[in-house]
Amino acid sequence: MLSEFVKVATLGDIAPGEMQTVEVGSEYILVARIGDEYFALDGFCTHAEGFLSEGYLLEDYCEVECPIHEGAFNLRTGEVTNPPAEEPVVAYEVRIEGDDILVGPRS
Read off the pTM. 0.94
Q: Distance between CA 35 and CA 28 in Å, rounded?
A: 23
Beta strands in 1-105 (DSSP E): 6-10, 19-24, 27-34, 37-42, 56-58, 63-65, 72-74, 80-82, 91-97, 100-104
Whether the pLDDT of residue 48 is over 80: the answer is: yes
Q: Tens digit of pLDDT for each residue in 54-103? A: 999 999 999 999 999 999 999 999 999 999 999 999 999 999 999 999 99
